[in-house]
Amino acid sequence: MTHALITGGAGFIGSHLAERLLEAGQQVTIIDNLSTGQFKNIAHLERKHGFRYAIEDIRNIHVMDRLVSECDLIYHLAAAVGVERIISEPIETIEVNIGGTEVVLKTARRYRKKVLIASTSEVYGKGTRFPFHEDDDRLMGPTTRSRWSYAASKAIDEFLALAYHKEVGLPVVIMRFFNTVGPRQTGQYGMVLPRFVRWALAGEPINVYGDGQQSRCFCNVRDVVEAVFALSQSPAAVGQVFNIGSQEEVTILELAQRVKRRAGSGSDIRFIPYDEAYEAGFEDFRRRVPSLEKIRAAVEWEPTTPLDQTIDEIVAYYREETSNGRN
């Protein structure tokens, strides 16, 4: 029986992945310090056969050594996430993302364990060639703007993982996520869709940053987890980088309008300048669209959940949270 270790397993994506692996008959151990993850995300798994957890920081090398020695493969999802946290806690962002990945890779090398590493579309920076391909050149903003520290730290994670693969033959797979969304995602650190839903359900203004014409592609977490699982089963994926996301592009203003409509909300839509929302000189991407050619060819994966269905699922999730007094 395969035994998987998920770092950041009490987080949004990690908890859904844990469910999927347990359904596949695998043993699952998660490690999470609950800095952005929440125990309630995994509480329903606590008594399931083959599931266990450690509430600890992945930079604790003694705990990680034990957990890695006992597993067959590692899904490394733990990271400092969310635009607001990246700007307000830049030291933690850099140290967790780089230092945590270093510990994961060193312990994986010690026990020769396969590692799937979560990266991000942010590494494409200010790229203007659409859709983004995995081997595209990258253009980053200046180091004087902390907004770019997350993209830079995740790029270092990728370089380090690929170096371990090249130099010592460690089996690694890198996954670049593009705006993963769904139930359990929190808006606490700037995640746009859950924030829109919560504002809409509360009848509060839906705050759109900038002019709202920036566009994104939102992919349902269930589809993302299927891609992750497929890559974990593919020997040909080792040593490769893959985009994981949807190609259903939508502007942020249109997203706000769709959330308002599907939630049956009377909320106003309000525009907030970036300087007021984040920090002076904040830079955002106008478009972010993935090429899926590589992952299609490797594991025949394709997202299947329409955005409106995902919005409905998030609305239902937050309505239930509110009715149960958890919001």
Please identify every residue annotated as catalytic. Answer: 150
From edge to edge, which strands make up the β-sheet containing 73-76? 51-55, 27-32, 3-7, 73-76, 114-120, 172-177, 241-244
Determine phi and psi for 190, rounding to 5 degrees.
105, 10
Query: Which of 94-100's residues contact partners 24+ apart within 8 Å by CB, and which partners?
Result: 94/149, 94/152, 94/153, 96/59, 97/150, 97/153, 97/154, 97/156, 97/157, 98/153, 98/156, 98/157, 98/160, 99/59, 100/7, 100/57, 100/58, 100/59, 100/76
307, two tokens:
């955005």
197, two tokens:
């839903």
